[in-house]
Amino acid sequence: MKLRWLGNSCVEIFADKHVLIDPNCVMEPEPGIDYVLVTHEHSDHFDVEKFKKIDTRHLIAPRYVLEQFGLDGIAAEAGKEIDGIKILESWCWKAVESYSYYYAGVLHPGDSAKFPEAKNVKVVFTACFPDFYDEYITEMKRLKPGLVVPFHYSPEKKANAEGLAERLKEEGIPCRILEVGEVLEI
């Protein structure tokens, strides 16, 4: 399996399926995407114009996103599993609806500092807002992922990611900061 962080909270997963999560990326994804997944409606996670340029077979998104932008897709519903993609509860400040996704051992919680229950997490992506460092660390101790990747920051400003990475490493939690477009093989 291969992963790429494409900026903001956009993650590309290459496993049995080619999956793109939160398609407001600063770098183009590879072609041939099977599923585009949207965690919530905030513009740093979903840009409808960028989405329209992506060739994909399926879209899974909060019903609010589908309705707001007049898109055809599958309405996300916590507890549902579609083609190996688990849709999980999530919480995001000021979002109408928010979901986390778990696929091929990868957990993507959007902005949330409260992570859903998931087993056998190989990689978890986490936002890195300094006010929530303690919550992220508590959640990582509970989830026990193989690797934590901080994301959801401006690529030119790594201070938040570096700050969280330092705290995680102090706690003995494996962590890696990716450059935009860098491939991570698991």
pLDDT at 115: 82
Using an 8 Å Cβ cutoff, are 110 and 99 in contact?
A: yes
Q: 127, exposed or middle or buried, with CB in 10 Å at 0-12, 13-18, 19+? A: buried
Query: What CATH number was assigned to the domain covering residues 2-185?
Result: 3.60.15.10
Q: Residue 43 — pLDDT band, cuts 50, 70, 90?
A: low
pLDDT at 93: 62
Q: Measured on CA atoms in the order 147, 152, 154, 160, is the torsion positive or negative?
A: negative
Residues with Cβ within 8 Å of 14's Cβ and at least 6 positions away in sequence, in order, are 1, 2, 3, 4, 30
181 or 96: which carries more pLDDT confidence?
181
Tell me: pLDDT of 10 over 60: yes
Q: Residue 116 — pLDDT band, cuts 50, 70, 90?
A: confident
Taking alpha carbons only, the member of 116, 134, 121, 114 closest to residue 3 is 121
Phi, psi (degrees; rounded to nearest 5) at 14 = -115, 100
Q: Residue 42 — pLDDT band, cuts 50, 70, 90?
A: low
